[in-house]
């Protein structure tokens, strides 16, 4: 079999069309996912390797995505490190014992992915035998994990996080270092279990000033990525637009973009040799079919033929109509940069 389009795009190659996958492509917008969740909590699902592999495959059966992403969650390593995680009905994640000071941080347990979080690793091994579609691994970036760990859940303005960051910088740095080593090892373990590449999600880095991003979030991401060998790395931030000049300091080979930034502009700032992933507004999936096709093609053309992985700028929302996902996947797969009839796009 020829080298998957995903890996070629992540390596910056010029291709007849970009590969396509979508963040959160497995989940609640699919009835087969809801069927598995009947009577089964999200965390229980994440702990079952066979079901994680099955849920990862669900969108690959229904749509012709060029990549899968292992079904798991960024918060699980924090639970292994001693934080009491739950997902209630109708609200996001909650930690009952958030980190409030240096002693809480020092009391965190070390994280060994093979010992403490075997399900996604086992699921990756199962998937390697079950599908030829390349499967990505992932982890939460140190800064974003610190946000959840300190606040005890989601937040509008992350006051406690920034307070600790500025008032107790040594403690905050110690936390970022612990998390960077944990997620770095977690990413590397996923690569060893069969992930073809890894993505670090820094969802809340976009709440930082440029100064704080460079001081805290980017060096921590770089420390995590330094532990990954032999596989492409992707760094995703939400609200990435203002930070384009510095995102490569994350140490990642590929930059994941949210939808607010023009992808052509992003490439001119990053440098044309830096591969990018993105960046359709996930809410565009609620537009009509003609508009969705127009937007899909506009993103491909703005990104150019080299080193682009088509994706959304953030995860699919649960209300998304499946027809819209189908439309985008098929529109990307039908696109050709060259009109040469012999071009082998793997379509």
Compare residues 38 and 103 and give the one whose CB is closer to ligand CP3.
Answer: 38
Closest to 218 in 3D by CA, of 310, 141, 284, 159: 141
247 Cβ partners below 8 Å, 6+ apart? 218, 235, 237, 240, 255, 270
Single out the catalytic residue among 66, 73, 185, 202.
73
Q: If you search the block for the tokens 């939460």, which residue do you land on?
A: 140
- Residue 37 is a catalytic residue: yes
For residue 336, the minimal CB distance to ligand CP3 (Å) is: 28
User: Which residues are at the interface with ligand CP3 (CB under 6 A)?
Assistant: 23-28, 37, 42, 69, 71-75, 87, 92-93, 138, 154, 201, 203, 315
Tokens coding 223:
């420390």
Catalytic status, residue 73: yes
Decide if 236 is catalytic.
no
DSSP H helices in the chain: 5-10, 31-37, 42-46, 49-62, 76-80, 102-106, 113-116, 118-130, 142-151, 159-167, 169-193, 210-212, 218-225, 263-270, 289-303, 322-334
**Annotated catalytic, 28?**
yes
User: In the bound complex, what is the minimum distance in angstroms from residue 22's beta carbon to ligand CP3?
Assistant: 8
Q: Closer CB to ligand CP3, residue 280 or residue 306?
A: 280
Please list, in sequence order, all residues whose beta carbon lies within 8 angstroms of the beta carbon of residue 182, skipping any fewer than 6 positions away: 77, 81, 110, 111
26 vs 179, beta carbon nearer ligand CP3: 26
What is the C-alpha separation between 315 and 114, in angstroms, rounded?
Answer: 27
CB 25 to ligand CP3: min, Å = 5
CA dihedral in degrees (96, 100, 106, 108; nearest 10)?
20
Min separation Cβ 158 and ligand CP3, Å? 12
Distance CA 255, CA 235 (A): 5
> Which is the catalytic residue, given 29, 33, 148, 235?
148
Q: Give the phi and the psi of residue 155 in degrees, each rounded to 5.
A: -155, 155
Closest CA to 57 of 39, 38, 33: 33
Contact (Cβ atoms closer than 8 angstroms) between residue 233 and residue 250 = no
Based on CB atoms, which residue is closest to ligand CP3, 16 or 199? 199
Selected catalytic residue, list 8, 24, 178, 267: 24
Which residue, 28 or 293, has its beta carbon nearer to ligand CP3? 28
Of 96 and 334, which has the nearer Cβ to ligand CP3? 96
Name the residue with the smallest CB distance to ligand CP3: 203
Shortest CB 42 distance to ligand CP3, Å? 4
Q: Which residues are CB-contacts of 186 (< 8 A; sequence separation ≥ 6)?
A: 77, 111, 113, 117, 139
The answer to whether 115 is a known catalytic residue is no
Minimum Å gap between C-beta 80 and ligand CP3 is 15
Task: Count the Cβ atoms, other than its own, within 10 Å of residue 192.
Answer: 17
Enzyme catalytic residues: 24, 28, 37, 73, 148
């Amino acid at each position: 079999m020829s080298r998957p389009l995903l890996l070629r795009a992540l390596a910056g190659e010029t291709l007849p069309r970009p590969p396509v996958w979508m963040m959160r492509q497995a989940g609640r917008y699919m009835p087969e996912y809801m069927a598995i969740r009947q009577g089964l909590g999200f965390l229980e699902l994440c702990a079952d390797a066979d079901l994680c592999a099955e849920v990862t495959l669900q969108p690959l059966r229904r749509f012709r995505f060029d990549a899968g992403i292992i079904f798991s969650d960024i918060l699980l390593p924090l639970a292994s490190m001693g934080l009491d995680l739950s997902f209630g009905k109708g609200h996001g994640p909650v930690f009952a014992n958030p980190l409030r000071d240096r002693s809480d941080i020092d009391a965190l347990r070390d994280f060994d992915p093979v010992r403490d979080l075997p399900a996604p690793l086992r699921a990756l091994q199962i998937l390697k035998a079950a599908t030829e579609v390349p499967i990505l691994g992932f982890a939460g970036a140190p800064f974003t994990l610190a946000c959840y760990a300190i606040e005890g859940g989601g937040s509008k303005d992350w006051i406690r996080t920034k307070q600790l960051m500025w008032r107790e910088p040594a403690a905050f740095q110690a936390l970022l270092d612990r998390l960077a080593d944990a997620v770095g090892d977690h990413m590397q373990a996923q690569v060893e279990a069969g992930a073809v590449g890894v993505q670090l999600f820094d969802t809340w880095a976009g709440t930082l000033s440029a100064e704080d991003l460079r001081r805290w979030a980017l060096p921590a991401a770089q420390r995590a990525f330094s532990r990954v060998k032999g596989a492409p790395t992707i760094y995703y931030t939400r609200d990435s637009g203002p930070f384009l000049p510095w995102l490569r300091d994350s140490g990642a080979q590929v930059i994941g973009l949210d939808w607010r930034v023009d992808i052509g502009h992003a490439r001119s700032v990053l440098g044309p040799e830096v591969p990018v992933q993105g960046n359709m507004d996930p809410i565009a999936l609620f537009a009509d079919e003609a508009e969705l096709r127009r937007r899909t093609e506009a993103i491909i053309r703005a990104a150019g033929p080299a080193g682009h992985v088509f994706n959304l700028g953030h995860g699919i929302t649960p209300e998304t109509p499946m027809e819209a996902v189908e439309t985008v996947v098929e529109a990307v797969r039908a696109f050709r940069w060259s009109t040469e009839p012999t071009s082998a796009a793997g379509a």
